[in-house]
Amino acid sequence: MAQISLTLPDGNARSYPAGITPAEVAADISTSLGKKAISASVDGAHWDLQWPIEADAAIAIHTMADDGPALELIRHDLAHIMARAVQEIWPDVKVTIGPVRDKGWFYDFDRAEPFVPEDLARIEAKMREIIAARDPVRTEVWDRARAIQHYRDAGEPFKIELIERIPEGEPLRMYWHGPWQDLCRGPHLQHTGQVPADGFKLMSIAGAYWLGDNTRPMLQRIYGVAFKDRKALKAHLTMLEEAAKRDHRRLGREMNLFHMQEEAPGQVFWHPNGWSVYTTLQDYMRRQQRRGGYVEVNTPQVVDRKLWEASGHWDKYQDHMFIVEVDEEHAREKAINALKPMNCPCHVQIFNVGVKSYRDLPLRMAEFGSCNRYEPSGALHGLMRVRGFTQDDAHIFCTEDQIEDETRRFIGFLSGIYRDLGFADFRVKFSDRPEKRSGSDAVWDKSEAALRAATEKAGYAYEENPGEGAFYGPKLEFVLTDAIGRDWQCGTLQVDFVLPERLDATYIGADGAKHRPVMLHRAVLGSFERFLGILIENFAGKLPFWLAPRQVVVASIVSAADDWCHEVAAALESAGIRAELDLRNEKINYKVREHSVGKVPVILAVGAREVEERTVSVRRLGESRTSTQALDALLDTLRAEATPPDLRAS
């Protein structure tokens, strides 16, 4: 029998007969590893312990201690176990697909009657029975005719359609969890008892079209989440509860910040309160950019397809673009335009006006660029995923030698802004060359080395994202962690050798010859819309005082206090503080409750005593105590708090 050589993570190679399985390799390495093994990596592919290995490969054995593979298997096995449970309870249900996603999995079922929330507990109980039974998981490869006949006999039309979509010649793998069989790529655990019975929960039911196609049957999707133990599950459920309380769509309503409506999907109607936060943040960013050595520009929204053809977007990005046909009355030809999905090609147009010399570089060109991208309506989510948005975009035109300096400078710029906005910590991810790419290896070597060195010199460690760079250059991504532990990728810096070439950007070098500049695409916030969503959720609506839209509400307790209320509000306004009056004939407790829901940071209650003493009674959001203060002292305090962080004397 042919021998193969398997290289272990420690670099040692062992010789085995071809067709050996990872289960046998693990047991050969040590008895305890043989017992603990759950799956393997074979040349980077996640490999079932039962699958034979036919050729030389690098192999690593996984155990439950390896989070990535362990969670993938637990979640995937649970998808099968759930489908089995559903069919054991309701034998007439047809099964379709059930992938692992995010923190769990879902499975789509075809059933005439709708599932109701009470069914979830019943399915969970059945799943726990299946787990307790420790049923073995086994797998076989079948030929197509046998598989189709099997599903015809079983009355599972969706599975037959899935098989027909798998390319001819690809093996069809079957898996059994006890007596229950499913068509599945695998890999899986070895028996149902390996799934932690108290680490999962069924979360919700939703409708989903078969294959995502709205002309096909509507199926019922059941979502579950799963972790390695009860503690991790509980932490996740607590985070979800906390996230629901902070949901920016709900807070957006309660704080009267914005709304969205059917006639403009994925686009925001900013109300006065929301627009106040938006423009305050934009003013702050504009000051930072000026200090950071950027020039600000503005470019058109509707741009002829010719430019998008030249930039390559027409070819590669058209599915995400809003196409605008203009049929002008006297035009001989229809002009086909697109709403700009990004600003880069327009910035090159500005760069290209006039002759640029090496002395003009680096040229940092910023735009609060309004962009439109077609996102499928199902993907839209409040401010977090929109169709119309404004980026804090900039392009740095520089030489290859300047990449490192500019990157380091950008990381310093970005970290200062994140700190000001309440995010002291962020992570850096580095993505290097993908398989399909433009540019020579020498240029890639140089720019990858520049990004690594810049990140290190800026004092940050980075995670590697091998092969995840754009085809036009490597990139850095900056990921914030919010108050409840969720990650948000916001900032980015991407090196681009291709666009300057495509749009023929040049500068005259010190040698008097023409050269190509490199472009660095970079953003700190990403888009204002999404970043505001993140800010609202991070602070649970209690925005820092300088960003709060209504900083102070002056609320009368008795109508005799109206005049003093007016005077107080006017004094606040002239101190640069955003104040609002509430002179309604309502109880003060009612007013306090309403403005607390609206997340107003400071409520001043003014009654007869305050009028007489020319004071105000101060109540801070989230505190039940009030304090009586003289107006002047309060103005000094609030004026300091209202000053944006970059304008404070430190």
Residue in the structure block whose two tokens are 């005049």: 563
Query: What's phi and psi for 202, nearest 5 deg?
Result: -85, 130
Closest alpha carbon to 274 in 243, 248, 246: 248
Binding piece for Zn ion, criterion CB under 5 A, among 206-214, 342-350, 448-456, 562-570: 342-350
Binding piece for Zn ion, criterion CB under 5 A, among 32-40, 336-344, 401-409, 459-467: 336-344
Contact in structure between 209 and 219 (CB atoms under 8 Å): yes
DSSP state of 469: S
To the query of whether residue 344 is one of the catalytic residues in this protein, the response is yes
Nearer to Zn ion (CB atom), residue 369 or residue 598: 369
To the query of whether residue 395 is one of the catalytic residues in this protein, the response is yes
What is the per-residue DSSP string for 566-579?
HHHHHHHHHTT--E
Contacts of residue 331, Cβ cutoff 8 Å, sequence gap at least 6: none
Q: Specify the 3-state DSSP secondary structure of 526.
A: strand
Q: Which of 76, 159, 395, 408 is catalytic?
A: 395
Nearer to Zn ion (CB atom), residue 94 or residue 234: 94
Closest alpha carbon to 427 in 405, 448, 403, 455: 455
* Residues within window 262-291 making contact with Zn ion, judged by CB under 5 A: none
Per CB under 5 A, does 521 bind Zn ion? Answer: yes
Pairing outcome for strands 57-63 and 180-183 = unpaired
How many residues touch Zn ion under the rule CB under 5 A: the total is 3
- Could you give the CA distance from residue 61 to residue 42 in angstroms, rounded to a whole number? 9
Q: Which of 521, 530, 595, 619 is catalytic?
A: 521
Binding piece for Zn ion, criterion CB under 5 A, among 7-15, 145-153, 515-523, 630-638: 515-523
- Could you give the CA distance from residue 600 to residue 582 in angstroms, rounded to a whole number? 12
Closest alpha carbon to 14 in 4, 24, 23: 4
Q: How far is the CB of 129 from Zn ion (least distance, A)?
A: 20
To the query of whether residue 315 is one of the catalytic residues in this protein, the response is no
Q: Euclidean distance between the first and final Cα of the chain, in Å?
A: 76
Q: Which of 347, 408, 475, 595 is catalytic?
A: 475
Per CB under 5 A, does 340 bind Zn ion? Answer: no
Nearer to Zn ion (CB atom), residue 396 or residue 600: 396
Contact in structure between 501 and 516 (CB atoms under 8 Å): yes
To the query of whether residue 391 is one of the catalytic residues in this protein, the response is yes
Q: Which of 221, 340, 373, 591 is catalytic?
A: 373
Per CB under 5 A, does 344 bind Zn ion? Answer: yes
Nearer to Zn ion (CB atom), residue 183 or residue 251: 183
Per CB under 5 A, does 346 bind Zn ion? Answer: no
* Residues within window 178-207 making contact with Zn ion, judged by CB under 5 A: 184
Nearer to Zn ion (CB atom), residue 346 or residue 565: 346
Which H or E run contains 591? helix 588-597
To the query of whether residue 271 is one of the catalytic residues in this protein, the response is no
Q: Which of 135, 392, 393, 432 is catalytic?
A: 393
Closest alpha carbon to 388 in 375, 402, 399, 397: 375
Q: How far is the CB of 505 from Zn ion (least distance, A)?
A: 13
Site string for Zn ion, 286-325 (x = CB under 5 A): ----------------------------------------
- Could you give the CA distance from residue 185 to residue 181 in angstroms, rounded to a whole number? 13
Per CB under 5 A, does 373 bind Zn ion? Answer: no
Q: Which of 391, 402, 494, 551 is catalytic?
A: 391
- Could you give the CA distance from residue 253 to residue 257 in angstroms, rounded to a whole number? 6
| Active-site residue list | 344, 373, 391, 393, 395, 475, 521
Can you give the binding site for Zn ion, defined by CB under 5 A?
Answer: 184, 344, 521
